[in-house]
């Protein structure tokens, strides 16, 4: 394994970069593993990495039906933040933010975590109350939060219009909020997990789950049967399909979520801006593209197809906040399949089948949680008991009624 | 003398119309009909920009939307347009363009230092470095990288232009007005089908516009035929032809977006009232995609030098714009099409060398040689050299296998190098619509292989390589589409094409796939061989990606960024796939292709937003009294789509106006001691009627409604099926079958939806109907001890307490108009909620104010209303409750009890989590210091809790939901949700506030004034 | 954006409609008698197949009536539309072409 650094880049320049090894092995599936993770996105790869690194698991595989990071990892708008209202969410997402901070160095892969600051705008009295409640809760949970006046918003975001149809009355700022490079997260975890002996198997679709005596035994895949002591399902939009193979249903709906980027321009937006009432979230990538999240359709769909009406709907709001963006152009739009739970919080923990664990339901906001999700899920699988931060997110909450409702206080886009 | 490269005759340009323009401040001139690119070339300008990563000098490569390099910034200030393709910009007088991504100037760009570092900046280098020292290091590198990256500068202010949108429906949408598209539109148009024909160009003809006058259709020059067809189509009432209109997106069910540049070509301020651009949304029963074919560059050393151009583009500049871009031209090709270019250039006065990568030659070689072109079969340009412009090429003979160079090196001085790597069907739209593609080795390109229903490709987009094939394909597709729409199309007489220099088997003849032209060095070791020009991706980069395991097409694309520039891989896509297949030792079909995403060309956000900006961004709902509020200078707040008065500040004796707090205090005291008038028109109002209306409401609300007597009102609380509070309001029973239901202002639409859903899907057996009457009624709430005597003279309703008691409803006349009055109270005072038809709302308001003026009646706003109700401990749904709150949390468990049967949400209330004793419950909060007003949203902690610190968690007990300074009590009051709060009444708590000292407070009952409710009943 | 055949208004674009998830979810006749698990299943567990789904739609910006659509969620192709009365007579949701 060659360590990545400026020095190694310079050294390889002398050999015309012809000696770089594969970032991860093209592993052939073995007949059996102690733990099999289904889903080679950021969450699944992170899970495998922490299983190997923190819990000493030696025989771990990640099965990916297509190419690593091809699901929502490679299709999201890369926003990172932890300023959630509910204590349970705040703990989980802040765990992730703390891991993000050291992640590039830990993985020896630059995931470009950029804590550039993230603003939630408030446009009316009720939104002011909402950011006050959330900001104070964040503060008491040890999470950074600051309230901005409209004048301060203008300093952070010079291109913004303060006095539109829905004037900006204030904002909540999380300085540690920001973005990261989505593909690099999958590739960095894959490379690091591979180094620890995890088999990463691409083009390996799971077609069946063998359950006997209430316990998971093996997976049927496009590349043969793979026996597994434990299985973690980390398949985002396809979680219900996999659960169906194991004989149970989940409180999930898989719906299309649209996003788009503009043509690249020189820096015009240095922070992430989110608005609930004017429904916009936008940031500018390092490449210069404005990355804009649009709404999610209400209907279930696996077609992963760009549709126009959601994109169109976002344009009025975007230009309402940023009138100078009107002459910029949409370069590309795409869709992901998001798995949404009734309370908009994830499901992490055991399933009705013994040995089969779930990590799904991240909806529109899973990317930011990637390191934390992988870490607590690895602990949950390794110890056969929910990690304390994962415990509130079990399936049982839907029976007891103890939902973790992040949308409760306001329709905050994730 | 400018325009040194313009030929004295020829071209489709208006020589009488000279157009002045500037490029990087230099004054130049072009001619009517020019694009910015053709005008620059006419002036001998080849260098137009800098590349994204290495800041390499770059020139014009193409002729149209495929252009990767010639991106310029047009205009300035708020009307600037970054990243405009010079090849798609029609020249107008006064156009000002500047190059991008360079500093300080195009010819001396400091950013080009990146080129010196290129050896350590291969694909994905940034994943391997910039990780230290320290965890925060990336932010420093990022700051610099962000400034190096990006292309043009964004406009500096709000867009001064207007954008419009149109909807259109048609039987057949034809994309592209080249020969195939014209033929398809003609065939379908004559059948009577409604046809829309859209094309990016300003005139019809497609690739014919780039050809010489030696092409003919049915005996007349091809462009004359195109013009005649266009004229015939323009004369058909069932056909609409859109020019300057790019089909951008093709979505499910033949739903298309088309982007029309209406007045961009006229220049700023010359649109004459027309919008700048127009976005069409078209629903077509059938679509024919005649989007043509795109020529590919060749991948060889130095292929990005300014002056290295596509062969077809060079021919197009010659024929359409009479621009001879170079005098000493070398061409390299793997197919026949470059011969036509070479012959035309030679005839126009250039001297040409043509290096054909194919060793077995072509019948066209003889014609080319006859014209004076030097033809070298089996030869390749191993390297293009030059600084700001190509000035020399190195030529060598290739081995039969193409794997090596043999023979001596020949160096030739040139001023243009043309390349042709073959022509591929332009399948972007087809693939967007999920049409399947397969790789055709004869074309060395992907071509359509079966599309969804109602979608066909024709002409070059379908793989046609001759004019005859394009015409035949267009006619067939047009007829078939018309027939599928039910039109009897009379067969069109066959169109006969004449096309010189084209072998019988098709235009391009045989194509030799040479994905990387062998150079003098192995790939990755010599001068860069570019695959994606704009993003600076080289063949070596692709090789590195493959070596590192990024060999899935999407991984290769993302790791190297090939195909992700503003041209979205129009030129680079196929070459990258070919190279990848070769490296993986597999077929191109096995490699597959990346997904084509909308839009085909970048579309402005302004066009997509249309008129939904500024005042039309979201409708503003106005109550009938709104004008009065505004004239009084009321402070307004946004509530949903409404604006409501917060308060009505009055002029003070010193000429100033009251502030918000003073106005609110005055209004509160007026209501408590005299009377106030509130515009409550925004309240949601729904009529629920029918024989089963009472049963329906019984099942919907927590409360009973079957026992409610006609003429009486009851407070109603509505839950979600999950048991949480959804909405509340007063319900009045007008008679046995009719209920007047009120909702919160924000909840009205959702409650109506929910009612209709339940009636239609859950209880279709119930006979009850719901009608929104929110906008039908204006509502003025007269509240305060004097309200009865103010209202009495204005109405025929007996207002005496016995005749019209608390929580009843009466109908009669108020101010001479039919009214419905509710005796309910949200302020705690004697109140009459007067509903009048909306058109009388303003009259009612004036009438009441006039009648009450001598008794101290004042208008009051939502601030006072909120304060008054908080003094009484009345909740606001959405403020005292959130999506987790159940009735018991609000002290309303009593409503739920009783013998009433099931209702929505009831079962959920008995789940374990709903029965916890430590749920957050509604309480009052009194600060130890009575003048301190708590901050709404602040969290509540134990008195001995530690101060907040980063990374430390302080356990929270709850939060402040409402907080005011009460004029009635002359102290601050607050409502709060506190864990197990009802059992903690009297306990001390602490409220830490960001930016200030913590506030000591104690928990109190959530009612501060008139806890018996006597005033409202009086 | 696909087209939907409203049983009352005819073919209209999807943007006029709103989807509300799986159709034919039966509210327990006597909720008080349902166990917590049964109630949770009614509240939250939904079919979410990649394939044929019977789902509820409402013509929100049209006749405001509810109806049932059988749609393939893998392709978004609509197979049939049913008026709500008495519930659709079609087969239940499940993977397209499957036997569930």
pLDDT digits (tens, 9 = 90+) for B45-91: 999 999 999 999 999 999 999 999 999 999 999 999 999 999 999 99
* A316:B995 CB<8 A: no
Residue with structure tokens 């886009």? A413
Q: Assess C76–A contact: CB distance below 8 Å, yes or no.
A: yes
CA distance B1016 to chain A (A): 28
Nearest to B497 by CA among B461, B522, B525, B470: B470
Q: What is the pLDDT of residue C98?
A: 29
d(CA A121, CA A276): 7
Q: What is the pLDDT of residue C100?
A: 27
Inform me whether the pLDDT recorded for A1 exceeds 70.
Answer: no
Contacts of C34 in chain B (CB under 8 A): 907
Residues linked to residue B729 through DSSP beta bridges, in sequence order:
B716
Q: At what angle do helices A87-107 and A370-383 cross, to 10 degrees?
A: 100
Name the pLDDT band for A162 (thresholds 50, 70, 90): very high
Task: Tell me the three state secondary structure of residue B311.
Answer: helix
Quote the strand ranges of B40-93, DSSP E. Answer: 47-50, 57-59, 71-74, 81-85
Contact C55/A238, CB-based, under 8 Å? no
pLDDT at residue A296, rounded to an integer? 86
- Tell me the pLDDT tens digit for each residue of B898-907: 678 899 999 9
Helix H, strand E, coil C: the string for B721-767 is CCCCEEEEEEEEEEECCEEEEEECCCCHHHHHHHHHHHHHHHCCCCC
Within its chain, how far is the Cα of B829 from the centroid?
A: 50
% of chain B at pLDDT higher than 90: 91
DSSP B235: T
Dist. CA B88–CA B110, nearest whole Å: 29
Cβ neighbours of B329 (radius 10 Å): 26
ipTM summary value: 0.97
Question: Taking Cα atoms as reference points, which of A366, A328, A318, A287 lies closest to residue A44?
Answer: A366
Q: Rounded to a whole number, what is the distance in Å from the CA of B253 to chain C's nearest CA?
A: 6
Range B812-838 average pLDDT: 97
Q: What angle do CA A276, A282, A286 make, to 5 degrees?
A: 155
- CB distance A261 to A331 below 8 Å: yes
Confidence (pLDDT) at A410:
54
* Residue B668 in tokens: 């509160």
Average pLDDT along chain A? 95
Strand partners, C28: none
pLDDT digit string, tens, across residues A341-368: 999 999 999 999 999 999 999 999 899 9
Which of these, B215, B445, B426, B182, lies nearest to B315 by C-alpha position?
Answer: B215
- Among A89, A91, A32, which Cα is nearest to A61's? A32
Chains that touch C (3 or more CB pairs under 8 A): A, B
Three-class SS state of B404? coil
Reported as a single tens digit per residue, the pLDDT across A321-345 is 999 999 999 999 999 999 999 999 9
- The pLDDT value recorded for residue C37 is 96
Residue that is written with structure tokens 């909807």 in the block:
B167
Residue B508: the pLDDT is 53
CA B741 – CA B730 distance, rounded (Å)? 6
User: For residues B313 and B915, what is the distance between their CA atoms, to the nearest angstrom?
Assistant: 76
| Counts of helices then strands in chain A (DSSP H, E) | 10, 18
3-state secondary structure of B187: helix
- Quote the minimal CA–CA distance from B813 to chain C in Å: 35
Sheet with strand C52-58: strands edge to edge:
C18-22, C52-58, C66-72, C77-82
User: What residues of chain B lie within 8 A of the CB of C57, using their CB?
Assistant: none
pLDDT recorded at residue B614: 86
Q: Which residues contact C84 (CB under 8 A, 6 or more apart)?
A: B760, B761, B764, C65, C66, C67, C68
Question: What sign does the dihedral B320-B321-B325-B326 (CA atoms) show?
Answer: positive
- The alpha carbon of B316 is separated from its chain's Cα centroid by a whole number of angstroms, namely 34
Query: Contact, B581 vs A96, CB < 8 A?
Result: no
Size of interface A-B (CB pairs under 8 A): 335
**Residue A217 or B400, more confident:** A217
On whether the CB atoms of residues B180 and B131 are closer than 8 A, the answer is no
Report pLDDT digits (tens) over B779-791: 999 999 999 999 9
The Cα–Cα gap between A379 and A391 comes to: 11
Beta bridge partners of A62: A37, A200
Distance from A217 to chain B by nearest Cα, in Å?
31
**Which residues of C are less than 8 Å from B761 in CB distance?**
56, 66, 84
d(CA A330, CA B603): 5
List Cα–Cα distances, B264 to B40, B81, B105, B276, B507, in angstroms: 19, 11, 27, 6, 35
Task: Evaluate if residue A6 carries a pLDDT over 90.
Answer: yes
Going from the C-alpha of B672 to that of each of B669, B870, B968, B1008, B1015, the distances in angstroms are 5, 13, 8, 14, 9
Q: Which residues of C touch A305 (CB under 8 A)?
A: 76
User: To the nearest 10°, the Cα dihedral for A234, A238, A239, A244?
Assistant: -140
| Arithmetic mean of pLDDT, B164-183 | 98
Q: Nearest Cα to B717, choosing from B734, B735, B705?
A: B705
Confidence of residue B503 (pLDDT cuts 50, 70, 90): low
> Does the pLDDT at position B596 exceed 80?
yes
Confidence of residue C89 (pLDDT cuts 50, 70, 90): very low
B929 burial via Cβ count (<10 Å: 0-12, 13-18, 19+): exposed
Tokens of B989: 């708590």
Confidence check: pLDDT of C85 > 60: no
From the list B722, B757, B764, the residue facing C43 with the nearest CB is B722
Phi, psi (rounded to 5 degrees) for B889: -60, -30
Task: End-to-end CA distance of chain C: give it in Å, rounded.
Answer: 28
CA distance A263 to A286: 12
Rg (CA), chain C: 15
Average pLDDT over residues B924-929: 98
The H or E element spanning position B165 is strand B163-175
Residues A341 and A240 sit within 8 Å (Cβ to Cβ) = no
Q: Are B383 and B298 in contact (CB under 8 A)?
A: no
Phi-psi region of B242 (alpha: psi -120 to 50; beta: other; left: phi over 0): beta
**Whether residue C86 has pLDDT greater than 60:** no
A343 contacts: CB under 8 Å, gap ≥ 6:
A397, A403, A404, A405, A406, A407
Q: What is the pLDDT of residues B20-32, one digit of tens each?
A: 999 999 999 999 9
Beta bridge partner(s), residue B408: none
- Give me the residues paired with residue B714 across strands: B731
Q: Which of A261, A207, A255, A242 is nearest to A351 (CA)?
A: A242
> Contacts from B577-581 at CB under 8 Å and sequence distance 24+?
B577/B553, B578/B444, B578/B513, B578/B515, B579/B299, B579/B515, B579/B516, B579/B531, B579/B539, B579/B542, B579/B543, B580/B542, B580/B546, B580/B551, B580/B553, B580/B556, B581/B515
Cβ separation A298–C48 shorter than 8 A = no
C37–B contact, CB cutoff 8 A:
no
CB–CB contact A399 C21 (8 Å): no
B138 and A114: CB-CB below 8 Å?
A: yes
d(C-alpha A397, C-alpha A394), whole Å: 6
Check pLDDT > 50 for residue C95: no
First-last CA distance in chain A = 37
Q: Which among B757, B762, B902 is the nearest to C31, CB-wise?
A: B902
Cβ–Cβ below 8 Å for C50 and A241 = yes
Query: What is the spatial distance between Cα B526 and Cα A380, in angstroms, rounded to a whole number?
Result: 52
Please tell me the pTM assigned to this model: 0.96
Q: What's the mean pLDDT in B335-351?
A: 96
Burial class (CB in 10 A: 0-12, 13-18, 19+), B802: exposed
Task: Read off the pLDDT of each residue in C4-21 and give the average, rounded to a whole number.
Answer: 94
Q: Are C1 and A298 in contact (CB under 8 A)?
A: no
Q: Contact, B282 vs B255, CB < 8 A?
A: yes
**Touching partners of A (3+ C-beta pairs < 8 Å):** B, C
Q: How far apart are CA B462 and CA B183, in angstroms?
A: 14
A398 close to C (CB below 8 A): yes
């Amino acid at each position: 394994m060659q360590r990545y650094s400026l020095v190694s880049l310079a050294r390889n320049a002398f050999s015309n970069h012809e000696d770089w090894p594969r970032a991860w092995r093209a592993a052939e599936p073995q007949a059996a593993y102690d733990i099999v993770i289904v889903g080679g996105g950021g969450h699944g790869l992170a899970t495998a990495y922490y299983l190997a690194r923190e819990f000493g698991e030696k025989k771990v595989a990640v099965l990916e039906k297509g190419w690593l990071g091809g699901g929502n990892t490679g299709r999201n708008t890369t926003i990172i933040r932890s300023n959630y209202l509910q204590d349970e969410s705040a703990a989980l997402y802040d765990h992730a933010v703390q891991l993000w901070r050291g992640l590039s160095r830990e993985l020896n892969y630059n995931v470009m975590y950029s804590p550039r600051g993230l603003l939630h705008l408030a446009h009316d009295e009720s939104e002011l109350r909402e950011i006050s409640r959330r900001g104070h809760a964040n503060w008491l949970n040890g999470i950074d939060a600051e309230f901005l006046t409209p004048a301060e918003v203008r300093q952070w975001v010079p291109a913004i219009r303060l006095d539109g149809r829905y004037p900006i009355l204030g904002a909540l700022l999380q300085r540690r909020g920001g973005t990261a490079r989505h593909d690099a997260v999958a590739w960095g975890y894959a490379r690091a997990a591979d180094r620890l002996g995890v088999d990463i198997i691409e083009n390996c679709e799971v077609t069946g789950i063998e359950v006997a005596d209430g316990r998971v035994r093996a997976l049927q895949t496009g590349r043969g049967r793979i026996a597994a002591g434990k299985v973690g399902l980390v398949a985002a939009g396809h979680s219900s399909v996999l659960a169906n193979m194991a004989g149970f249903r989940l409180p999930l709906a898989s719906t299309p979520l649209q996003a788009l980027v503009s043509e690249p321009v020189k820096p015009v937006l240095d922070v992430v801006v989110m608005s609930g009432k004017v429904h916009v979230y936008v940031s500018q990538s390092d490449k210069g593209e404005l990355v804009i999240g649009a709404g999610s359709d209400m209907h279930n769909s696996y077609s992963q197809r760009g549709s126009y009406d959601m994109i169109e709907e976002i344009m009025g709001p975007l230009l309402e906040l940023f009138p100078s963006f009107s002459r910029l152009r949409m370069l590309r739009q795409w869709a992901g399949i998001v798995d949404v739970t009734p309370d908009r919080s994830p499901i992490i923990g055991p399933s009705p089948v013994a040995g089969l664990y779930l990590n799904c339901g991240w909806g529109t906001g899973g990317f930011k949680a990637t390191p934390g999700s992988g870490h607590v899920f690895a602990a949950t699988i390794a110890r056969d008991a929910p990690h304390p931060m994962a415990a509130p997110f079990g399936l049982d909450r839907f029976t007891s009624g103890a939902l973790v409702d992040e949308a409760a206080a306001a329709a905050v886009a994730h | 003398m400018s325009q040194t490269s313009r030929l004295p005759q020829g071209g489709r340009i208006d020589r009488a119309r000279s157009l002045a323009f500037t490029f990087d401040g230099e004054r130049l001139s072009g001619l009517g009909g020019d694009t910015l690119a053709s005008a620059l070339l006419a002036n001998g300008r080849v260098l137009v920009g800098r590349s994204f990563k290495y800041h390499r000098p770059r020139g014009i490569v193409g002729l149209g939307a495929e252009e990767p390099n010639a991106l310029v910034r047009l205009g300035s200030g708020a009307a600037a347009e970054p990243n405009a393709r010079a090849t798609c910009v029609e020249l107008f007088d006064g156009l000002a363009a500047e190059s991008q991504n360079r500093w300080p100037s195009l010819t001396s760009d400091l950013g080009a230092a990146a080129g010196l570092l290129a050896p350590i900046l291969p694909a994905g280098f940034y994943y391997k470095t910039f990780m230290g020292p320290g965890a925060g290091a990336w932010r420093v590198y990022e700051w610099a990288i962000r400034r190096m990256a990006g292309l043009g500068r964004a406009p500096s202010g709000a867009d001064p232009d207007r954008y419009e949108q149109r909807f259109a429906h048609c039987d057949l949408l034809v994309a592209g007005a080249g020969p195939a598209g014209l033929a398809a539109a003609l065939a379908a148009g004559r059948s009577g089908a409604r046809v829309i024909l859209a094309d990016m160009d300003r005139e019809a003809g497609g690739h014919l516009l780039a050809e010489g006058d030696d092409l003919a259709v049915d005996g007349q020059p091809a462009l004359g035929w195109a013009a005649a067809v266009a004229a015939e189509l323009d004369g058909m009432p069932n056909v609409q032809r859109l020019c300057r209109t790019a089909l951008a997106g093709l979505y499910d069910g033949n739903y298309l977006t088309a982007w029309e540049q209406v007045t961009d070509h006229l220049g700023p301020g010359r649109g004459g009232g027309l919008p700048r651009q127009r976005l069409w949304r078209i629903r077509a029963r059938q679509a024919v995609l005649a989007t043509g074919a795109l020529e590919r560059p060749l991948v060889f050393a130095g292929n990005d030098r300014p002056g290295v151009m596509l062969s077809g583009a060079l021919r197009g500049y010659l024929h359409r714009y009479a621009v001879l871009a170079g005098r000493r031209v070398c061409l390299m090709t793997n197919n026949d099409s470059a011969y036509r270019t070479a012959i035309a250039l030679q005839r126009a006065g250039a001297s040409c060398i043509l290096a054909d990568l194919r060793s077995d030659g072509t019948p066209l070689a003889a014609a080319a040689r006859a014209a004076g072109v030097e033809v070298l079969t089996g030869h390749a340009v191993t390297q293009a050299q030059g600084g700001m412009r190509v000035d020399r090429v190195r030529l060598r003979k290739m081995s039969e296998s193409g794997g090596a160079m043999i023979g001596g090196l020949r160096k030739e001085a040139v001023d243009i190098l043309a390349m042709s790597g073959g022509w591929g069907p332009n399948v972007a739209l087809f693939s967007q619509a999920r049409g399947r593609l397969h790789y055709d080795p004869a074309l060395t390109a992907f071509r359509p292989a079966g599309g969804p229903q109602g979608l066909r490709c024709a002409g070059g987009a379908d793989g046609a390589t001759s004019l005859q094939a394009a015409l035949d394909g267009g006619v067939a597709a047009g007829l078939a589409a018309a027939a599928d729409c039910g039109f009897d199309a009379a067969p069109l007489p066959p169109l006969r094409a004449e096309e010189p220099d084209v072998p019988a088997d098709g235009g391009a003849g045989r194509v030799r796939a040479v994905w990387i032209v062998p150079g003098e060095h192995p790939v990755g070791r010599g001068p860069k061989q570019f695959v994606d020009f704009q993003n600076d991706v080289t063949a070596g980069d692709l090789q590195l990606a493959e070596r590192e395991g990024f060999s899935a097409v999407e991984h290769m694309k993302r790791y190297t960024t090939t195909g992700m520039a503003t041209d979205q891989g129009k030129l680079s896509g196929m070459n990258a796939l070919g190279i990848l297949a070769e490296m993986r030792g597999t077929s191109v079909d096995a490699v597959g292709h990346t997904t084509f995403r909308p839009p085909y060309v970048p579309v402005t956000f302004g066009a997509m937003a249309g008129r939904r900006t500024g005042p039309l961004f979201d409708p503003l709902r106005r109550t009938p009294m709104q004008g009065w509020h505004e004239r009084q200078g009321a402070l307004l707040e946004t509530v949903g789509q409404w604006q409501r008065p917060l308060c009505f500040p009055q002029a003070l004796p010193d000429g100033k106006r009251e502030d918000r707090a003073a106005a609110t205090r005055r209004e509160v005291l007026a209501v408590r001691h005299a009377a106030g008038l509130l515009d409550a028109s925004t309240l949601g109002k729904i009529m629920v009627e029918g024989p089963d209306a009472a049963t329906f409401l019984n099942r919907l609300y927590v409360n009973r409604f079957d026992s409610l007597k006609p003429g009486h009102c009851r407070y109603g609380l509505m839950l979600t099926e999950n048991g949480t509070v959804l909405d509340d309001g007063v319900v009045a029973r007008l008679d046995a079958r009719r209920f007047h239901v009120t909702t919160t202002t924000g909840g009205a639409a959702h409650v109506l939806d929910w009612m209709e859903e339940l009636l239609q899907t859950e209880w279709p057996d119930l006979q009850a109907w719901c009608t929104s009457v929110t906008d039908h009624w204006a509502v003025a709430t007269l509240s305060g001890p004097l309200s009865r005597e103010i209202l009495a003279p204005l109405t025929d309703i007996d207002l005496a307490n016995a005749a019209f008691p608390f929580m009843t409803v009466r109908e009669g006349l108020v101010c001479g108009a039919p009214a419905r009055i509710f005796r309910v109270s949200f302020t705690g005072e004697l109140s009459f909620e007067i509903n009048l038809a909306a058109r009388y709302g303003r009259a009612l308001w004036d009438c009441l104010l006039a009648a009450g003026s001598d008794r101290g009646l004042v208008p009051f706003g939502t601030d006072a209303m909120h304060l008054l109700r908080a003094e009484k401990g009345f909740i606001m749904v959405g403020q005292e409750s959130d999506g987790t709150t159940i009735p018991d949390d609000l002290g309303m468990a009593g409503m739920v009890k009783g013998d009433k049967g099931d209702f929505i949400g009831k079962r959920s209330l008995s789940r374990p989590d709903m029965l916890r004793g430590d749920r957050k419950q509604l309480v009052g909060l009194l600060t130890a210091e009575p003048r301190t007003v708590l901050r709404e949203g602040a969290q509540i902690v134990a008195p001995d809790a530690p101060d907040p610190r980063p990374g430390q968690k302080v356990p929270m007990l709850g939060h402040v939901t409402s907080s005011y300074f009460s004029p009635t009590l002359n102290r601050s009051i607050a409502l709060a949700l506190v864990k197990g709060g009802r059992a903690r009444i009297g306990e001390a708590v602490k409220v830490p506030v960001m930016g200030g000292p913590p506030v000591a407070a104690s928990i109190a009952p959530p009612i501060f004034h008139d806890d018996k409710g006597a005033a409202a009943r009086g | 954006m696909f087209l939907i055949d409203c049983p009352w208004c005819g073919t209209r674009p999807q943007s006029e409609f709103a989807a509300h998830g799986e159709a034919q979810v039966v509210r327990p006749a006597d909720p008080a008698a349902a166990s917590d698990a049964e109630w949770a299943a009614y509240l939250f567990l939904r079919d979410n197949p990649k394939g044929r789904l019977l789902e509820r739609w409402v013509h929100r910006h049209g006749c405001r009536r509810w109806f049932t659509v059988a749609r393939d969620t893998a392709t978004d192709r609509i197979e049939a539309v049913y008026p709500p009365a008495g519930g659709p007579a079609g087969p239940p949701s499940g993977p397209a072409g499957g036997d569930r």
